[in-house]
Amino acid sequence: MGKLASQETPTEVDVDVDIDIEDEEQESLENEDAYASLLPETVEEEAPQIAEIDSDQNLSMEARPVPRIAIHAFCASPETGVVIQRAASDRRLAKAHVTVHMGGLPAAITQYKNSTTPNLVVVEDHSHHEELFANLLKFAEVCDPSTKVMVIGKTNDVGLYRELIKQGVSEYLVSPLTPLQIIASVSSIYVDPAAPPIGRSVAFVGAKGGSGSSTIAHHVGWCMADGLEEDVTVIDLDIPFGTAGLDFNQDATQGIADALTSPERLDDVLLDRLLVKCSDHLSLFASPSVLDRDIELDSQTYESVLEIVRQMVPTVVLDVPHVWAPWTKHVLFTSDEVVITATPDLASLRNVKNIIDLVKAARPNDSPPRIVLNQVGVPKRPEIPEKDFAEATGIDPSLVIPFDAQLFGTAANNGQMVTEIAGNSKIKEGLKKLAYDVSGREPPEDKNKGLLGMLGIGSS
């Protein structure tokens, strides 16, 4: 544990994460009150780790997946135990093994007198400074030098923070906390800040067949690449029936199927060969759309391929087919954003609600799925009003797209994007806004603003 244990520099150790809360402590962890901000606004600027209060959305974007490590937490309050329990169930801690104990720092000292310490020990202590440091010195006597230590306290003191860091503590947090603050702190300890960022994954899935999810996914991917001018890869996961090649007017002989059948061979060079370049910033990982190949793969295969692609580009758009299998659930549960495309009918409403309930339960620390209500206003078709759809699902649609067979049919038959042929229509603007929202980035400044724009001389 740094200087408190010895003069050795802690080494990073890979280990394994479930949630494992001891039976006798289960009852004390039932209080699940809402969690306040990390710190008051009056903290000095000198300690950014405890002074900057990020929204949960920003923390969610910053937190990176944690490697296989063992984490033992010793909490002084049931509320903190609940927070760590929720953090442990998060997708970014899926490889870690987390155990929650009660008793705080004294319990940790007792625990490790006769056992080795794990990769990371989280201790909560509400003692005064002198008693806290005295207990930490006792803990250092039983703590392995390679173990990292995170301390949770109630004192919002920059001097205390500096002294703890000086003594070898890896992080100091002020309670009450949120699960995402725990996740982001663990991630900051174990993920190399100099490592290239992992691309943001956005999964699109249809509430039922024919809802238009693939079309929306492809158009949003195009808008991201064209509007933000950042590299985007669209991955068509519908191996036998994918339409990404048709929508982008590309004839791909190789693609996602080759990567999935031989994931161990996939590297930067092979990936570059398999991707089809659609524009300066958009690449396509197309499906073969052939029926003579039976591909039965597990979730781990998909995860390994997607992880390699995410290391290459800032944003990955996943076109998930309307099939329900372990791998499709895994893709939805592990994506940064989930977008469900539905039509305004009863079957879609039921399926949307079921998917939302499942995804929210599996991703409690992430934003809920977004809904795109598509093909609204088909002549003579009874429809569920947008308001009723939102009330039943508990989520307002992020985008409502009116039925326009001429526009979307022309785009599909020509291998073009709607944004290329729609002019300044509301559909085009809606797709662009959705693209910016799911990418987590602000739209670029309008080039027409300024004096020329005000005079109506800007480019169209």
Torsion sign (Cα): 290, 293, 294, 297: negative
pLDDT of 334-390, one tens digit each? 999 999 999 999 999 999 999 999 999 999 889 999 999 999 999 999 999 999 999
pLDDT of 33-45, one tens digit each? 332 332 333 333 3
For residue 333, what pLDDT is reported?
94
Ordered by start, the domain boundaries in the chain are: 2-190, 200-439
The domain made up of 200-439 is a member of CATH 3.30.70.260: no
Residues of the chain with pLDDT under 50: 5-54, 451-452, 458-460
Instruction: Kindly report whether the peptide bond that precedes residue 326 is cis, defined as omega within 30 degrees of 0.
Output: no
The domain made up of 2-190 is a member of CATH 3.20.20.70: no
Look at residues 373, 237, 197 and name the one whose alpha carbon lies nearest to residue 318.
237
Q: Say how far apart CA 333 and CA 83 lie, in whole Å.
A: 20
One fold for both 2-190 and 200-439? yes
For residue 105, what pLDDT is reported?
93
Look at residues 213, 211, 231, 209 and name the one whose alpha carbon lies nearest to residue 222.
231
Q: Is 107 exposed, middle or buried (0-12, 13-18, 19+ CB in 10 A)?
A: middle
pTM greater than 0.85: no
Torsion sign (Cα): 110, 113, 114, 115: positive
CA of residue 385 relative to chain centroid, distance: 31
What is the bridge-based pairing of β-strands 370-376 and 337-342?
parallel
Q: Is 27 exposed, middle or buried (0-12, 13-18, 19+ CB in 10 A)?
A: exposed
For residue 262, what pLDDT is reported?
79
3-state secondary structure of 74: strand
Residue 79: both structure tokens together: 């509320």
**Taking the CB of residue 49, how many other CB atoms lie within 10 A of it?**
14
Query: Is the separation of the CB atoms in 147 and 23 below 8 Å?
Result: no
